[in-house]
Amino acid sequence: MTLPAFVPSISSEIECVIQSKLTALEAEHDVRVLFAIESGSRAWGFPSPDSDYDVRFIYAHKPDWYLSIEPGRDVIELPIEGDWDINGWDIRKALGLLIKPNPVMLEWLSSPIRYRWNDDLCERLIRFADKTTFGESCLHHYRNLAVKQWDKHVGDNSDVPLKKYFYILRPVLAISWIKQNPTVQPPMNLQALVEGQSLSEELVGQIEKLLVLKSAAKEIGRGERIPMIDAFIHEQIAWAEVVARQDERPDLMAEGDALLRAIVNPSSRLRARSEHANLLCQVVNRPGMYFGPNSLSEAIGFISGLGVGAPKSAMSDFQDWFTSRFFDEPMAQHWSYLIRTIPDCSTDDDGKNVAAFLAIVRLYLEEFKQ
């Protein structure tokens, strides 16, 4: 038995609002958002119709910010308004928590809902995080989270708010995951947590019933405790208590310092190329948010403006790649004109032309990652 498939519950209109809020906070605080994701119930896999949008992000200041005698504030928190809960950590704070270790940032890196993403940077962060947050070294985090939620919402009560079971089940399923897969970091998402380990069909069935109820109603109310789920929770917490915390971890401080310096102070050229590739990736994955699906001129115009203002405009890298990829010798014509000479982009169907152009951009991004 498996749970209902995970379906991201973020509309294009909501994502536009989130993007505008991220852009505004970058300008206000003079920072770069390195990546931004959805956390909370929408990413965990058990949202209600009225669930908040829990946006989490990692950011970096300019290099001089890190050279002050007095450390600056290392979090950015927007006021919680309506459905919006948006906050993030400075990259130095995030790396420090990874080294402790604290698995929260690695959970963010595994979120199934991404708003801003830089493949190269995030892959480096994931590789570093994999060395610090896994197996027994994370058990105390998940155990403490599960115990705190149990004491807060269940305790000695005979009836409980049923939806709160999920806030206990997620860390408990992470403990069970570590027991069965000690070398693999538990995923953030409930569905992936269940599917990636061996659980009884009866237990999965009880979780599924709760999931269906929560997804359909704003409030599923209180009810009698569920003995099978209670027993599973107690079993996993008890196991986590007796497993020794892994203390023989490698000293990764020097590697963390080097990664921090590389992120905070990359060469302007490299930073521009990387950020431009990140923007291109966002555009080709959701083109309808940026230009008309049946207008090649809009697509070319929008993408050609993405690198304007960058040192040695990053857009020129794409243009140079394009001409060298499709033509035997340098061409004098403007590159946007040359795009229309490619057979796949010169048909009478502009919708097909846009699709072909985006396929070219994706090809560039694949070669850029290599």
92-106 per-position pLDDT tens digit = 999 998 888 788 888
Q: Residue 245 pLDDT more than 60?
A: no
Q: Do 27 and 114 reside in the same domain of the chain?
A: yes
Q: Do 88 and 149 reside in the same domain of the chain?
A: no
With bands split at pLDDT 50, 70 and 90, how would you rate the model's confidence at 219?
A: low
In this structure, of 113-117, 167-171, 263-267, 332-336, the range with the lowest mean pLDDT score is 332-336
Is residue 65 situated within a structural domain?
yes
Question: What DSSP line would sit under 207-240, residue for residue?
Answer: HHHHHHHHHH-S---EEE--HHHHHHHHHHHHHH
Is residue 4 situated within a structural domain?
no
Q: Contact at 8 Å (CB) between 86 and 115?
A: no
Strands 84-90 and 53-61: parallel
Q: Residue 87 pLDDT more than 70?
A: yes
129 vs 310: which has the higher pLDDT: 129
Q: Residue 306 pLDDT more than 80?
A: no
Q: What pLDDT is recorded for position 24?
A: 92
Q: Residue 50 pLDDT more than 80?
A: no
In this structure, of 2-6, 58-62, 140-144, 245-249, the range with the lowest mean pLDDT score is 245-249
Q: Is 19 exposed, middle or buried (0-12, 13-18, 19+ CB in 10 A)?
A: middle
Q: Residue 149 pLDDT more than 60?
A: yes
Is residue 289 situated within a structural domain?
yes
Quote the CA–CA distance of 368 and 321 in Å, as a whole number.
10
In this structure, of 65-74, 225-234, 322-331, the range with the lowest mean pLDDT score is 322-331
Q: Do 195 and 233 reside in the same domain of the chain?
A: yes
Quote the CA–CA distance of 234 and 232 in Å, as a whole number.
6
Quote the CA–CA distance of 86 and 78 in Å, as a whole number.
6
| Dihedral over alpha carbons 281, 283, 284, 286 (to 10 degrees) | 120
Q: Minimal CA–CA distance to 146: which of 181, 170, 177?
A: 170
The 8-class DSSP code of residue 329 comes to S
Is residue 282 situated within a structural domain?
yes
Quote the CA–CA distance of 367 and 365 in Å, as a whole number.
5
Q: What pLDDT is recorded for position 281?
A: 81
Q: Residue 244 pLDDT more than 60?
A: no
In order of 6, 153, 221, the CA distances from 52 in angstroms are 17, 20, 18
The pLDDT > 70 percentage for the chain reads: 87
Q: Do 220 and 255 reside in the same domain of the chain?
A: no
Q: Residue 269 pLDDT more than 80?
A: no
In order of 39, 114, 310, the CA distances from 109 in angstroms are 10, 9, 27
45 vs 73: which has the higher pLDDT: 73
Is residue 48 situated within a structural domain?
yes
Strand runs (DSSP E) across 255-301, as ranges? none
Q: What is the pLDDT of residues 156-176, one digit of tens each?
A: 887 877 778 888 999 999 999
Which SS3 state, helix, strand or coil, does residue 15 take? helix
Q: Do 87 and 142 reside in the same domain of the chain?
A: no
Q: Do 44 and 117 reside in the same domain of the chain?
A: yes
In order of 236, 244, 291, 303, the CA distances from 57 in angstroms are 31, 32, 26, 25
CATH number at residue 114: 3.30.460
Q: Do 272 and 227 reside in the same domain of the chain?
A: no
Residue range 10-38: mean pLDDT, rounded: 91
Q: Do 18 and 160 reside in the same domain of the chain?
A: no
Residue range 291-303: mean pLDDT, rounded: 82
Quote the CA–CA distance of 148 and 307 in Å, as a whole number.
48
Q: Do 119 and 156 reside in the same domain of the chain?
A: no
Adjacent-strand bridge partners of 35? 58
Contacts of 218 (CB under 8 A, 6+ apart): 48, 49, 50
What is the radius of gyration, based on Cα positions, of the chain? 24
Q: What pLDDT is recorded for position 77?
A: 95
Is residue 2 situated within a structural domain?
no
Which one of 231, 264, 297 terminates a domain?
264
With bands split at pLDDT 50, 70 and 90, how would you rate the model's confidence at 307?
A: low
Q: Do 28 and 175 reside in the same domain of the chain?
A: no
Q: What is the mean pLDDT of the chain?
A: 83
With bands split at pLDDT 50, 70 and 90, how would you rate the model's confidence at 134?
A: low
Domain that residue 159 falls in: 137-242
Adjacent-strand bridge partners of 172? none
Quote the CA–CA distance of 12 and 288 in Å, as a whole number.
9
Is residue 1 situated within a structural domain?
no
Q: Minimal CA–CA distance to 121: which of 20, 266, 233?
A: 266
Domain count, the chain: 3
Residue range 69-98: mean pLDDT, rounded: 93
Cα 337 versus chain centre, distance: 37
Backbone angles phi, psi at 116, to 5 degrees: -130, 135
Is residue 236 situated within a structural domain?
yes
- Residue 83 has which token pair? 């459905």
Which SS3 state, helix, strand or coil, does residue 343 take? helix
| Dihedral over alpha carbons 9, 11, 16, 18 (to 10 degrees) | -20
Q: What pLDDT is recorded for position 102?
A: 80
Quote the CA–CA distance of 110 and 57 in Å, as a whole number.
13
Instruction: Please name the residue that has the structure tokens 């033509």.
Output: 327
With bands split at pLDDT 50, 70 and 90, how would you rate the model's confidence at 148?
A: very high
Q: What pLDDT is recorded for position 21?
A: 92
pTM higher than 0.75, yes or no? no
In this structure, of 3-7, 149-153, 258-262, 270-274, the range with the lowest mean pLDDT score is 270-274
Contacts of 85 (CB under 8 A, 6+ apart): 40, 52, 53, 54, 55
Q: Do 109 and 255 reside in the same domain of the chain?
A: yes
Residue range 70-85: mean pLDDT, rounded: 92
Q: What pLDDT is recorded for position 91?
A: 96
Q: What pLDDT is recorded for position 217?
A: 58
DSSP run (H or E) holding 157: none
Residue range 345-365: mean pLDDT, rounded: 87
Q: Do 121 and 156 reside in the same domain of the chain?
A: no
